[in-house]
Homo-oligomer: A and B are copies of this chain.
Amino acid sequence: MLQTINNPPIIELLEKHGLRKTAIRTQVLHVFLNRREALSHAEVEELLKDADRITVYRTLKTFEDKGLIHKAIDGGGKTKYALCHGGCSEHAHHDHHAHFHCDDCGKTICLDTVAAPQVQAPGKFRVVATHLVLTGQCDACSE
């Protein structure tokens, strides 16, 4: 059985977003806090062997809805998530950084220092959000 992790930063994150402190949620947050790359459902599941598949899906969805994690677009087939920084809430995500997808190891990493550009779309297109995706070799794979 999964245990609730009693780690202050994790508990605070959940409280701040109005979420109940359950075993799965603390475990999933723990995983995200200890990884720099974005994680897919399958990866979270792999790291939390005793967690139920469907519950992991729902946990990720809930975290996204409440502003704890955001989807990281990377062009790969799977949805990946990464921790939000302050500023995201139930009502809106504000992650304007680029995501780097490594063609070698497949990892997706948030580049917090690289901002997505402001662009002007032609004609009547109304741009609400901009995503910048870089692909190539990550720092670990380019050695």
Give A contacts to B, CB under 8 Å. 71, 73, 75, 77, 79, 98, 100, 103, 111, 113-114, 116-117, 119-139, 142-143
Contacts and interface: CB of A to CB of B under 8 A. Distances in A.
A114 to B, nearest CB: 6
Query: How many of these chains are in the complex?
Result: 2
A132 B139 CA distance: 21
Contacts of A119: 98, 114, 132, 134
Which 9 residue pairs are nearest across A and B when measured between Cβ atoms? A128-B136, A124-B139, A131-B133, A73-B75, A126-B137, A126-B136, A127-B136, A126-B142, A129-B135
16 contacts: A98-B121, A100-B121, A100-B127, A113-B122, A119-B132, A123-B139, A124-B138, A125-B136, A125-B139, A127-B135, A128-B135, A128-B136, A129-B136, A132-B132, A132-B133, A133-B133
Contacts of A142: 124-126
A131 B114 CA distance: 13
B130 A134 contact: yes
